[in-house]
Amino acid sequence: MSILNAAISGLLASQRSLATVSHNISNVHTEGYSRQRVNLVAREPQYVGVGYVGSGAETSSITRITDQFITTQLRTSTSSSSETNSFLTLASRVDNMLADAETGLSPSLQNFFSAIQDVNDLPSSATARQVMISEAASLAERFQFLDDRLSDLGDEVKIQLNDDISDINTIANSLAGINSRIVEATGLAGGAPPNDLLDQREVLILDLAELVTVNTVEQNDSSLNIFIGKGQPLVIGNTASSLGVTETYEGHYEVSLTNPFSSSIITDSISGGSLGGQINFQTQMLEPAKNALGRLAIGVSETFNDQHRLGASLDGDVNTAFFNVGAPRVSALGTAPNNVTSGITDPSALSDSDYNLTYNGGNSYTLTRLSDATTTAINTGGTSPYTTPAIDGFTMNITAGAAASDQYIIRPTVNGASDISVLISDPRKVAVAGPLKGGVATNASGVPTNIGNAAITDVNISTTAGVPLASNITLTFDAANNRFDISAPPGGTLAYNPATDNAGMQFTIASAGNATFTVSGFPEDGDEFLIQNNTGADGDNRNGLLLSDLQSNRLLLNGSASYQDTYGQMVAGVGSTTRQSEISSEALEVLKEQTIEARESVSGVNLDEEAANMLKFQQSYSAAAQMISVADNLFNSLINAFR
Amino acid sequence: MRVSTAYFTQRGLTSILEQQARLADIQEQISSGKRILRPSDDPTGAAQILRLDQALSVTDQYQRNAGNALNRLTLEESTLDSVQDSLIRIREIAIQGTNSTIGNDDRKALAQEVRERLNEIVSLANTKDANQEYLFSGYKVTTKPFTEAADGTFVYSGDQGQRALQISSGRQMMDSDSGNDVFVNVKNGNGTFQTNANVLNGGTGVFDIGQVVDPTAYVSDTYTITIGGTSGNLTYGVTGAASGVVVASGTAFSDGGTIQFNGLQTGITGTPNVGDTFTISPSSTQDMFTSVQNLVKALETTTSSPAGQSDILNLINPALSEIDLAFENITRVRTSVGARLKTIDDQINVNEGFKIELASTLSKVRDLDIAEAAVELQSRLIALEAAQTTYTRIQGLSLFDHI
């Protein structure tokens, strides 16, 4: 009978092997499927006195062919690749936005300054002035447009974060469910692995790795504990935690983790996956870009205003602001009272970072620059309200009332680009003239009355204090004392010795807007110069020339860059970050491909191989069947012998 | 190494998609003609393009400014040329007026023409440019610079401002001159002092307008020359208001001889009467319209006596000198305008050269090398075709077909 038993065992073994080949072939395109193999062993032989006779084959186990090392590597490379991909997708949007000459800031900036020059060419022209105001408005609109696009991207980040987190929560629940099924199935089978469930779990983990970095720890009961990011527990056995999105302050989103015991913000622990890419994009590109744009808008509006204030309009007004300047935004976190305000003092010293202000109790606050965690201690000395010294170009005004560890987020430049606008609508108010002029005294017919040949240059001012003048200032030369007597107000004298100073001597009258002018030549005793309000000077463009100079002056980034340079730096910064992520995305994609290839090489189904196996097991099945037939013949021979 | 069937299919497809993406890139580059399509293609280059674009557009603006300055200065130049033509004609008339053979009526006719010429100069001084801005009113371009007051004198209502335009990054150019500088700020007399014969003089003495012969010895003062002695044996003396007696009275007088003291020299031709006085005083500023009007007044003087004739000469001579000074002043302004026109012309050429240089640099940074791109396109097409062919060929192979 041993022949028949051995043949039957061979038949069964071949049958199982063929079934597995069939299973493999069916799953050739199933995602995450690992090919399975029937492990055969020889049955325990029978002792027949002279020795052991073999008694056939038996199936010891059916296992899937996997490599734990490759599996882990695939998760890692999937997370990294997905992180850079999602970063790159978002970054490319910013990159594209800045790429187009039509949508960038450059043309508007250029048109605005060209319009100023056109006003300089023809200051009396209302049309030229109107064009300048319109160009200024389109510059402001362009700032707002770019800012809006960045804000749209912020909204998109929020939507993507929500989508990803809802996916993660679904996967976490599925994993918790599959964990318990695996534990059950393994128990039922006395420890034999439930291959296809394991594959399914692996697929889920890989899906999770697309979203965030995953680490797993296998338990004795075959369940897996799943940790995301830098060790945040997502699934423990059959219990899943859930993630959520929290807007900690306007436009800034964080990730929170909730389990039955607690809820906490874990943004800092999130890494990898598209979730990590989105968070990186928010903190490393979107917020700095928005701030840099705002900083440029503040720089342009503030410095332009400073010069514009020093000019006179067609009606002789001075000290008029041209642009509205965006103010810093302060957000009190949690229950902190709204007792902190902030203002810009020096647009060239601004950074593109946001700041965290924390109250430590007593008189002590700590300001942290979020981009590099530089801290500044602030001591109010008990004063309330207390104005801090300028830090990075802005100050804070703190009123007492905060509770210890209250926090504030201070964003000095975030409103810059959204709040810039043109304050002037009347073309006459554009201040391109110099407010004061200098000249020799004349009689009623406009004929100079001086005897000497001394001359005075035009008068420039550097502040508007005392301007326009309440009355003309007359400088009368006193030959005996070699000086000019200044009429009151302000009175006083200016020493001028024609013998030594005739090539030109510069004077400043502080009380008249720091009026600066140069006197040269040889005045006679009693010769007079007049410094007066520049009324009716429709053709004067002195302040206009200074305004157009702003375009090339290095006024921003601590005096190292012009408006255009600052924008260029921003564009180059976005460009190189995008380029960098493009390169690493390509590299990580290749790495991921290689890992997939390695995994497929080990675990993937090859139809040709299965065809060969099929033939092999078909033959062994036929052979085993033949053996049964032989056993039958033998049995028949034996029976016939007794007939 | 084993290769799984699914991966085999996948890989073929991936490589076709990759080739297509690369093809799309080069297609976009070729169709736009640009090497840099977005900042990430070349971050440094992108920033450089922004800078070059700005420099190019700023230079264009400088050219526009220079063109405007050129137009205004050319207009000023031709206006001043016309003013000088009028002044030359006025001068000719003044010299005719000194001719003792012409009568009162002839002089009146001459005076009439001078008046017309004066009106011509005034209207030239009130010239507006193409933008309706007055050319000679300083900063007050919308204020008419010269108006005639009720008493017939001309009032300058402009100011002493002079507007500059930016014609290159480091150069501003004045695009006009104020009316004060061109027409008003001229000294009367001979430029240093003015000579004046007393209208009550009875003799025929004609006072020379004089000149400074020794600037270091010249003392600015009001001097009075008094004729003394007896008829036929005239003497003179000179007293300064501040200097006191500079030439003792009793010094012998000669007709046409020189009178020299304190660094200046003048003379009296003709025969003054005893007691006639002549004064020399420092020049003051006098607009050219007043000078011309003085000439008109001289020409309109009616006389029949030799003494009256000399009075007219004593009026015409200083007016002639003042017209010459006004002419010189305009020549000075025209020289400066000419120099500015030359500078602007040069700057326009420099700017043009700079623009070409910028444009060629910009093109190097931004534009695509089409030949290179065409070769690249060809090679990418071949790569795509190869990927597609390989895919279809390999997909057909299976062991199952042979069982």
The CATH number that applies at residue B165 is 1.20.1330.10
Q: What is the pLDDT of residue B308?
A: 79
- The answer to whether residue A403 sits within a structural domain is no
3-state secondary structure of B379: helix
Of the given ranges (A97-106, A597-606, B44-53), which has the lowest mean pLDDT? A97-106
- The answer to whether residue A91 sits within a structural domain is yes
Q: Which residues of B are less than 8 Å from A541 in CB distance?
A: 163-165
Residue A469 has pLDDT above 90, yes or no: no
Q: Is the peptide bond before A468 cis (omega within 30 degrees of 0)?
A: yes
- The answer to whether residue A572 sits within a structural domain is yes
Same domain, A127 and A36: no
Residue A134 has pLDDT above 90, yes or no: yes
Query: Residue A276 and residue A280: Cα distance in Å, rounded?
Result: 6
Same domain, A45 and A145: no
Number of H helices, E strands in chain A: 12, 29
What is the token pair recorded at A617?
Answer: 């097991």
Residue B42 in contact with partner chain A when CB distance is under 8 A: yes
Query: Residue B19 and residue B380: Cα distance in Å, rounded?
Result: 7
B58 with A440: Cβ contact below 8 A: no
**What is the average per-residue pLDDT within B166-191?**
90
Running DSSP on this structure, what letter comes out for residue A124?
A: T
Closest Cα in chain B to A88: B40
> What does pLDDT average to over chain B?
89
Q: What is the pLDDT of residue A175?
A: 95
Same domain, B184 and B57: yes
Residue type, B46: A
Let me know: does B159 contact B145? Beta carbons within 8 Å.
Answer: no
How many domains, in total, are found in chain B? 2
Chain B interface mutation, best of A606, A609, A613, A618, highest count of B Cβ atoms under 10 Å: A606
**What is the average per-residue pLDDT within B295-300?**
89
Chain A interface mutation, best of B2, B9, B40, highest count of A Cβ atoms under 10 Å: B40
- The answer to whether residue A391 sits within a structural domain is no
pLDDT in tens, A156-178: 999 999 999 999 999 999 999 99
Query: Residue A536 and residue A123: Cα distance in Å, rounded?
Result: 12
pLDDT in tens, B72-89: 999 999 999 999 999 999
Residue A290 has pLDDT above 70, yes or no: yes
- The answer to whether residue A161 sits within a structural domain is yes
> What does pLDDT average to over chain A?
91
A 493-552 residues with CB below 8 A of B? 534, 536-542, 545, 548, 551-552
What is the token pair recorded at B368?
Answer: 């695509």
Q: What is the ipTM of this complex?
A: 0.81
Closest to B183 measured CA to CA, from B160, B205, B208, B164: B160
Residue A41 has pLDDT above 80, yes or no: yes
Q: What is the pLDDT of residue A101?
A: 63
How many domains, in total, are found in chain A? 3
Contacts of B369 (CB under 8 A, 6+ apart): B35
Query: Residue B208 and residue B6: Cα distance in Å, rounded?
Result: 119
Q: Which residues of B are less than 8 Å from A121 in CB distance?
A: 64-65, 68, 165
**What is the average per-residue pLDDT within A64-78?**
93
A95 with B158: Cβ contact below 8 A: no
Same domain, B232 and B248: yes
Chain B interface mutation, best of A119, A445, A546, highest count of B Cβ atoms under 10 Å: A445
Q: How confident is the model at residue A155 (pLDDT cuts 50, 70, 90)?
A: very high
Tell me the shortest Cα–Cα distance from A204 to chain B, in angstroms: 19
Q: Which residues of A are less than 8 Å from B403 in CB distance?
A: 611, 615
More confident residue, B191 or B304: B191
Residue A102 has pLDDT above 70, yes or no: no
Query: Residue B266 and residue B253: Cα distance in Å, rounded?
Result: 12
Strand duo B146-148 + B206-207: pairing: unpaired
Residue A122 in contact with partner chain B when CB distance is under 8 A: yes
Closest to B387 measured CA to CA, from B11, B12, B72: B12
**What is the average per-residue pLDDT within B350-361?**
94
Q: Which domain holds residue A177?
A: 71-285+559-596
B50 with A567: Cβ contact below 8 A: yes
A600 with B138: Cβ contact below 8 A: no
**What is the average per-residue pLDDT within B290-309?**
85
- The answer to whether residue A622 sits within a structural domain is yes
Same domain, A497 and A632: no
Question: In 10 A of CB B49, how many CB atoms?
Answer: 23
Query: Residue A592 and residue A173: Cα distance in Å, rounded?
Result: 26
Same domain, A135 and A274: yes
Same domain, B233 and B264: yes
B398 with A608: Cβ contact below 8 A: yes
Question: In 10 A of CB B250, how many CB atoms?
Answer: 11
- The answer to whether residue B235 sits within a structural domain is yes
User: CA torsion, points B58, B60, B61, B64, in degrees to nearest 10?
Assistant: 160
- The answer to whether residue B69 sits within a structural domain is yes
Query: Residue B394 and residue B403: Cα distance in Å, rounded?
Result: 18
Of B4, B133, B158, the CB nearest to A606: B4
Reported in sequence order, the residue ranges of A259-339 that DSSP labels E, i.e. its strands, are 263-265, 323-324, 329-332
Tell me the shortest Cα–Cα distance from B180 to chain A, in angstroms: 8
Strand duo A421-422 + A323-324: pairing: antiparallel
Same domain, A36 and A143: no
Closest to A354 measured CA to CA, from A283, A302, A403, A421: A283
Closest to A346 measured CA to CA, from A288, A392, A294, A293: A392
- The answer to whether residue B289 sits within a structural domain is no
Residue finishing a domain among A533, A548, A582: A533
- The answer to whether residue B388 sits within a structural domain is no
- The answer to whether residue A138 sits within a structural domain is yes
What is the token pair recorded at A20?
Answer: 């597995």
Residue A353 in contact with partner chain B when CB distance is under 8 A: no
What is the token pair recorded at A498?
Answer: 């024609």
- The answer to whether residue B198 sits within a structural domain is yes
Query: Residue A105 and residue B62: Cα distance in Å, rounded?
Result: 21
Q: How confident is the model at residue A1 (pLDDT cuts 50, 70, 90)?
A: low
Q: What is the pLDDT of residue A303?
A: 93
What is the token pair recorded at B87?
Answer: 């002044």
Residue A547 has pLDDT above 90, yes or no: yes
B 355-384 residues with CB below 8 A of A? none
Q: What is the pLDDT of residue B205?
A: 86
Residue A27 in contact with partner chain B when CB distance is under 8 A: no
**What is the average per-residue pLDDT within B366-383?**
92
A565 with B51: Cβ contact below 8 A: yes
Q: Which residues of B are less than 8 Å from A312 in CB distance?
A: none
Q: How confident is the model at residue B270 (pLDDT cuts 50, 70, 90)?
A: confident
What is the token pair recorded at A128?
Answer: 């030229």
Residue type, B130: A
Running DSSP on this structure, what letter comes out for residue A349?
A: G
- The answer to whether residue A506 sits within a structural domain is yes
B4 with A603: Cβ contact below 8 A: yes
Residue B59 in contact with partner chain A when CB distance is under 8 A: no
Same domain, B249 and B327: no
Q: Radius of gyration over alpha carbons of chain A, in Å? A: 42
- The answer to whether residue B373 sits within a structural domain is no
Same domain, B222 and B183: no
Contacts of A282 (CB under 8 A, 6+ apart): A154, A157, A252, A253
SS3 content of chain B, % helix, strand, coil (to 5): 55, 20, 30
Residue type, A391: I
B 265-294 residues with CB below 8 A of A? 282, 284-287
Same domain, A85 and A30: no
Residue B335 in contact with partner chain A when CB distance is under 8 A: no
Query: Residue B26 and residue A187: Cα distance in Å, rounded?
Result: 59
Query: Residue A327 and residue A342: Cα distance in Å, rounded?
Result: 8
Same domain, A88 and A139: yes
Residue type, B21: A
In order, the DSSP letters of B83-146 are HHHHHHHHHHHHHHHT-TTS-HHHHHHHHHHHHHHHHHHHHHHT-B-TTS-BTTSTT-TTS-SE
Q: Considering the entire predicted model, what is its pTM? A: 0.86
Tell me the shortest Cα–Cα distance from B396 to chain A, in angstroms: 12
A445 with B160: Cβ contact below 8 A: no
Same domain, B175 and B275: no
A537 with B159: Cβ contact below 8 A: yes
Query: Residue B96 and residue B298: Cα distance in Å, rounded?
Result: 12
Query: Residue A84 and residue A508: Cα distance in Å, rounded?
Result: 60
Same domain, B99 and B219: no
Tell me the shortest Cα–Cα distance from B360 to chain A, in angstroms: 19
Let me know: does A568 contact B190? Beta carbons within 8 Å.
Answer: no
Same domain, A147 and A217: yes
Closest Cα in chain B to A437: B161
Same domain, B326 and B182: yes
Q: Which domain holds residue B251?
A: 193-283
Tell me the shortest Cα–Cα distance from B349 to chain A, in angstroms: 20
Closest Cα in chain B to A597: B7
Query: Residue A259 and residue A257: Cα distance in Å, rounded?
Result: 7
Query: In this prediction, what percent of chain B has a pLDDT beyond 70?
Result: 100
Same domain, A127 and A244: yes
Query: In this prediction, what percent of chain B has a pLDDT beyond 90?
Result: 44
Same domain, A212 and A97: yes
- The answer to whether residue B312 sits within a structural domain is no
Number of H helices, E strands in chain B: 7, 13
Q: What is the pLDDT of residue B336?
A: 94
Query: Residue A611 and residue A22: Cα distance in Å, rounded?
Result: 10
A110 with B149: Cβ contact below 8 A: no
Same domain, B67 and B181: yes
Residue B66 has pLDDT above 70, yes or no: yes
Same domain, A577 and A479: no
- Distance linking the first and last C-alpha atoms of chain A: 21
Let me know: does A28 contact A605? Beta carbons within 8 Å.
Answer: yes
Same domain, B120 and B239: no
Same domain, B163 and B201: no
**What is the average per-residue pLDDT within B6-27?**
89
Tell me the shortest Cα–Cα distance from B23 to chain A, in angstroms: 17
What is the token pair recorded at A503?
Answer: 């090539």
- The answer to whether residue B37 sits within a structural domain is no
What is the token pair recorded at A361?
Answer: 């109790």
Same domain, B63 and B95: yes
pLDDT in tens, A431-466: 999 999 888 888 888 888 888 888 898 898 998 888
| Cα separations in angstroms, B163 against A494, A540, B166, B173 | 28, 6, 10, 8
Question: In 10 A of CB A330, how many CB atoms?
Answer: 20
Helix A195-211 vs helix A126-188: crossing angle, to nearest 10:
160
Please name the helix (run of DSSP H) or strand (run of DSSP E) that holds residue A428, with its range, or none.
none
Strand duo A263-265 + B211-212: pairing: unpaired
**What is the average per-residue pLDDT within A519-533?**
89
In order, the DSSP letters of B303-325 are --SHHHHHHHHHHHHHHHHHHHH
Q: What is the pLDDT of residue A498?
A: 86
Same domain, A568 and A620: no
Of A537, A605, A611, the CB nearest to B139: A537
